[in-house]
């Protein structure tokens, strides 16, 4: 290798030395810039992953909020359906309940005359409740038909209590005290 350098004169050797030094300097600059660029790329990749994760969470939260909003809208429609189809209006609530009970008794083929009415406000539920008490006297088949008509009736009527003072055994007629609740005014 020394024999090769001996072929060059002093000026050429200095030029080769400067070229070598410039090459080493360029290589050092390149390595510094490459490491910084690579670090920046890794940092940018980390930021991109965080943004992608944040976007995924935001999309999920948006979809959950949309689903919750749809459930609330559906609940509002259900509540409106309950108001119009199953509950009695505030204005004619008790009178409409009386007429419906007359219709139920007619459909069941029974006549009940002495009805007792109890009224209460359910403030938490924002509903008024009317409890109608009456005594049914007749056969078991008649009671069964009355209960079936009450159950099939389109308005929201709840049988709150049934008591049997006489069970209809030993040839006597069946007697049942019933309490039916009607709701109005959501």
Q: The pTM is what?
A: 0.57
pLDDT, tens only, 41-56: 777 788 888 889 999 9
Which of 32-36, 55-59, 79-83, 108-112 tops mean pLDDT?
55-59
Is residue 87 domain-resident? no
Please tell me the predicted confidence (pLDDT) of residue 8: 75
Task: Answer yes or no: are the C-beta atoms of 22 and 16 closer than 8 Å.
Answer: no
Return the minimum-mean-pLDDT range out of 23-32, 52-61, 129-138: 23-32
Same domain, yes or no: 99 and 33:
no
Cβ-based neighbours of 132, under 8 Å, separated by 6 or more: 97, 101, 115, 116, 117, 118, 179, 180, 181, 182
48/44 Cα distance (integer angstroms): 6
Among the three residues 48, 81, 114, which one is the final residue of a domain in this structure?
A: 81
Same domain, yes or no: 69 and 99:
no
Instruction: Work out the burial of residue 137: count CB atoms within 10 Å of its CB; fewer than 13 is exposed, 13-18 middle, 19 or more buried.
Output: middle
Please tell me the predicted confidence (pLDDT) of residue 71: 93
pLDDT exceeds cutoff 60 at 90: yes
What CATH number has the domain bearing residue 149?
3.30.70.60
Please tell me the predicted confidence (pLDDT) of residue 186: 60
Please tell me the predicted confidence (pLDDT) of residue 10: 78
Same domain, yes or no: 16 and 72:
yes
Instruction: Work out the burial of residue 83: count CB atoms within 10 Å of its CB; fewer than 13 is exposed, 13-18 middle, 19 or more buried.
Output: middle
Residue numbers of the domain that contains 125 = 93-184
Report how far apart the first and last C-alpha atoms of the chain are (Å, whole number). Answer: 104
Which of 92-101, 122-131, 140-149 tops mean pLDDT?
140-149
Same domain, yes or no: 109 and 175:
yes
Is residue 158 domain-resident? yes
Q: How many domains does the structure of the chain reveal?
A: 2
Is residue 104 domain-resident? yes
Instruction: Work out the burial of residue 184: count CB atoms within 10 Å of its CB; fewer than 13 is exposed, 13-18 middle, 19 or more buried.
Output: buried
pLDDT exceeds cutoff 90 at 59: yes
């Amino acid at each position: 290798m020394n024999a090769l350098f001996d072929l060059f004169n002093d000026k050429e050797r200095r030029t080769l030395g400067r070229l070598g030094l410039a090459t080493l300097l360029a290589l050092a600059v390149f390595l510094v810039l490459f490491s910084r660029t690579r670090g920046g790329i890794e940092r940018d990749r980390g930021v991109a992953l965080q943004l992608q994760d944040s976007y995924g969470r935001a999309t999920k939260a948006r979809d959950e909020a949309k689903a919750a909003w749809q459930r609330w809208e559906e609940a509002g429609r259900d509540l409106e359906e309950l108001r119009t189809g199953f509950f009695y209006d505030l204005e004619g609530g008790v009178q409409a309940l009386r007429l419906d009970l007359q219709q139920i008794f007619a459909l069941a083929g029974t006549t009940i005359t002495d009805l007792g009415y109890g009224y209460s406000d359910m403030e938490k539920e924002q509903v008024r409740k009317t409890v109608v008490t009456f005594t049914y006297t007749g056969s078991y088949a008649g009671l069964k038909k009355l209960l079936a008509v009450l159950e099939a009736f389109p308005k929201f009527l709840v049988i709150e209590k049934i008591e049997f003072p006489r069970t209809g055994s030993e040839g006597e007629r069946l007697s049942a005290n019933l309490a039916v609740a009607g709701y109005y005014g959501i």
